[in-house]
Amino acid sequence: MGASLSIDYVTHQFSPSAAPTLKDIDTRIDPGELVALIGRSGCGKSTLLHMMAGLLIPSQGCIRINSHQVSKPSAKWNMMFQKASLYPWMSVKENAALGLMFAGLQKAEAVEKVNSLLDMLGLHDKKDVNVQSLSGGQQQRVALARSLATDPDILLLDEPFSALDAFTRTALQEEVPAICRERGITMIIVTHDIDEAVAMADRVLIMSQNPGRIVDELEVGLPWPRRHMDNGFQIRREELMNRFKGTDTGLQGRQQPITTQQSESAA
C-alpha cells in the first residue's frame, strides 16, 4: 500500500549565500495518489523530488513519509531518473534485482523474484542479455523494474520518459500509472510535458520559479486509461495550459504559494 507524503514549509538553498531554489513548499500527497509536478526548467522541481527521495536535505522545513521525517534514501521510496543509469557489467535481471540484493537477499533469490516483474514489463526474452544491447525504452523498463522490485510505497519519477521516442513514451505513460494504481503505490512525477502530466496524474501541482513555489494545482479527474485524443483529455490539457500560463505571466491563477490548509479547504 502506498504511503502519504507531506512537505512542510520546505525551503532550499544550495549554499547559505545563494538565493533559495525552493521557498515555503507546503503540500500533502495521499497514499496511492498519482501526482505530477510541472514547471519550467530550473524551477526546482527535480530538487524537490530529490529531497522527497532523501538524496537532498531541505535547508528549512521537513518532508515526512507516513509521518516519519525523510533523512536518507530508502528502497521504499525510490526514484527513477531521466537516464536509466543501468550498470553495464550486469545483465537485465541482475540490474532489476539490485535493490533486493542491497536489502540483503542472495543474488539467486533476488533474481528469481524479479522474473515475473520482467515478464510484466515485456522483457521476458531479455533477462539474460547485457543492458548495453537494449534500446532506450527497454533500458527505462529495466530501470522501472529495478524501482518496482523493492515493492516501494512511493515511486518518484524525474522526467523518466523525456529521452524516449513518442511510441515508447506513450506506452510507458499508460503502463506506469496502471502499475502504481494496481499496487497502490503513491506516484510523483516531475515533468515539463503538460500532456504527460494529464495522462499520468490524479492531480497536477504547478510550480513557479525564482524561487520555486507550488502556485496552483489541478484535479485531473479523468477515467483510466486516458487517451490523448479524447475530448476530456483535451479540455483538461487546455485548462492546465491556461493555469500554467497564468501562474507564469501573472495574468491568471494564484500567485501565492498553496499551503496544506488551502489544499484541504479546497478539497
Partner 1 sequence: MSASTTTPMNSAVSLLGPAKLIRLLSNLQYPAMGITGLLALWWVGGLLIENNENLSAFSAFAPAPAFHALYDLVASGEIWAPITSSLYRILVGLTWGIAIGVPVGVTIGYIGVALKVANVPFQFLRMISPLAWMPIAVMAFETWDSAIIFLLVMATVWPIIFSTAHGVRRIDPNWFKVARNLGASGTQMLRRIILPAIMTDVMAGIRLAVGVAWVVLVPAEYLGVTSGLGYAINDARDTLSYDYLAAVVLVIGIIGYGLDSVCNLLIKRFNWHAE
Q: How far apart are CB 88 and partner 1 at their closest, in Å?
A: 5
- Determine if 98 is a binding residue for partner 1 (CB under 8 A): yes
- Determine if 129 is a binding residue for partner 1 (CB under 8 A): no
Strand partners, 5: 29, 65
168-173: long-range pairs with CB below 8 Å, 24+: 168/135, 168/136, 168/137, 168/140, 169/196, 170/228, 171/137, 172/137, 172/140, 172/141, 172/144, 173/199, 173/200
- In the bound state with partner 1, the residue whose beta carbon lies nearer, of 14 and 102, is 102
Contact pattern from residue 77 through residue 96 relative to partner 1, giving x for each residue in contact according to CB under 8 A and a dash for the rest: -xx-x-x-x-xxxx------
Going by C-alpha positions, the residue among 40, 67, 65, 41 that lies closest to residue 51 is: 65
| Sole binder of partner 1 in the list 132, 231, 249, 261 (CB under 8 A) | 132
Going by C-alpha positions, the residue among 4, 11, 57 that lies closest to residue 35 is: 4
Among the candidate windows 16-24, 31-39, 130-138, 166-174, which touches partner 1 by CB under 8 A?
130-138
- In the bound state with partner 1, the residue whose beta carbon lies nearer, of 63 and 240, is 63
| Sole binder of partner 1 in the list 62, 101, 163, 171 (CB under 8 A) | 101
Q: How far apart are CB 129 and partner 1 at their closest, in Å?
A: 12
- Determine if 102 is a binding residue for partner 1 (CB under 8 A): yes
Cite the DSSP H helix spans in the chain. Answer: 45-52, 92-96, 98-102, 107-120, 136-149, 166-183, 194-200, 231-249, 260-266
CA distance 24 to 38: 17
- Determine if 234 is a binding residue for partner 1 (CB under 8 A): no
Site residues (vs partner 1, CB under 8 A): 53, 55, 73-75, 78-79, 81, 83, 85, 87-90, 98-99, 101-103, 130, 132-133, 146, 150
